[in-house]
Amino acid sequence: MGVLYDAATAPPDLSLANAAIRMLLEGSVLLKHPDIGAISEPQPFTGGERLDVRARNLSQVFYRLSAEGRTEHIGTVLREAFGGVAVEPRSSAGRVFLVVRERGVELPPPNVADGLIKSLAIASAADLKPALLLIDEIENSLHLKALKVIYDVLNSLEIPVIVATHSPLLVDMAGPERTLVVSRDGDGGTVVEPPHSDLEKLRRRLEELDVAFSDYIFYQRTREE
């Protein structure tokens, strides 16, 4: 266990706290919806390991992971979510790009589903083992099966994962213990809080009423406020 300071014997060393926060942020990965157009284009290989916030350098990151023999699990995730799909990186004239096959047939970039690219980006980000993984609007472009597969992948990681979502399915999978509700207060500020002050009481109440947790979050809780 690490201790930044002992307030009883010494004043707080804020430089240590700031350094710890900086290290966490520098080792974090934030993903928003992928820039499909940029990902579809061949890119000069720079050797970078950090995944861009819109995954624009996904082909480079995936190429590096493949060269290091670290894409087997990613391939398994994609097959579970999308069936007979395989993705491989290629290089030509110093540029790298992704090749997608469905049941052995190579797909032109316009025919590749956005959800497949997004799943590839998330699985690749997870394999990079960042200090913290943040994903915005994770459900966009993902069908229910793919969302369930991706949730299981994230749930199995040994790193902190924070996901922003409006998906009832994802809220139900996460449950009350892993859900925080973000809302606006009367002054326009941001409020982050648990779904209920007593989670055990909430769970019993939902069971009595046979109501899904997501229904409470998106409907009942809103009326209570």
Residue 82 belongs to a domain with what CATH number?
A: 3.40.50.300
Return d(Cα 158, Cα 137) in angstroms, integer: 21
Residue 171, pLDDT score: 93
Residue 215, pLDDT score: 92
Residue bearing the bigger pLDDT, 36 or 187: 36
Return d(Cα 96, Cα 92) in angstroms, integer: 6
- What's the mean pLDDT in 51-69? 96
Asked whether residue 191 is domain-assigned, the answer is: yes
Does residue 9 surpass a pLDDT of 70? no
- Same domain, yes or no: 157 and 215: no
Return d(Cα 220, Cα 202) in angstroms, integer: 12
Q: Which residues contact 16 (CB under 8 A, 6 or more apart)?
A: 4, 5
* Strand locations in the chain (E): 28-31, 43-44, 85-92, 95-102, 105-107, 132-136, 161-164, 181-184, 190-193
Total number of domains in the chain: 2
Whole-angstrom CA distances from 213 to 190, 194, 204 are 22, 13, 11
Closest CA to 214 of 170, 182, 177, 180: 170
Closest CA to 154 of 172, 171, 135: 135
**Partner residues linked to 223 by β-bridges:** none
Asked whether residue 60 is domain-assigned, the answer is: yes
**CA–CA–CA angle 152, 80, 165 (5° rounding):** 40
Asked whether residue 35 is domain-assigned, the answer is: yes
Write the DSSP symbol of residue 200: H
Closest CA to 164 of 134, 120, 209: 134
Place of tokens 């157009």: 37
Residue bearing the bigger pLDDT, 97 or 19: 97
- What's the mean pLDDT in 148-159? 95
Does residue 2 surpass a pLDDT of 90? no
Residue 188, both tokens: 């326009």
- Same domain, yes or no: 150 and 52: yes
- Same domain, yes or no: 126 and 212: no
For 97-125, write each residue's pLDDT tens digit: 999 999 999 999 999 999 999 999 999 99
Does residue 186 surpass a pLDDT of 50? yes
Q: Is 57 left (phi over 0), alpha (psi -120 to 50) or beta?
A: alpha
For 156, other C-beta atoms within 10 Å of its C-beta total 8
Q: Which domain holds residue 197?
A: 174-225
* End-to-end Cα, the chain, rounded Å: 40
Does residue 57 surpass a pLDDT of 80? yes
Average pLDDT, the chain: 88
Per-residue confidence band for 48, with pLDDT thresholds at 50, 70 and 90: confident
Asked whether residue 1 is domain-assigned, the answer is: no
Asked whether residue 22 is domain-assigned, the answer is: no
- Same domain, yes or no: 68 and 130: yes
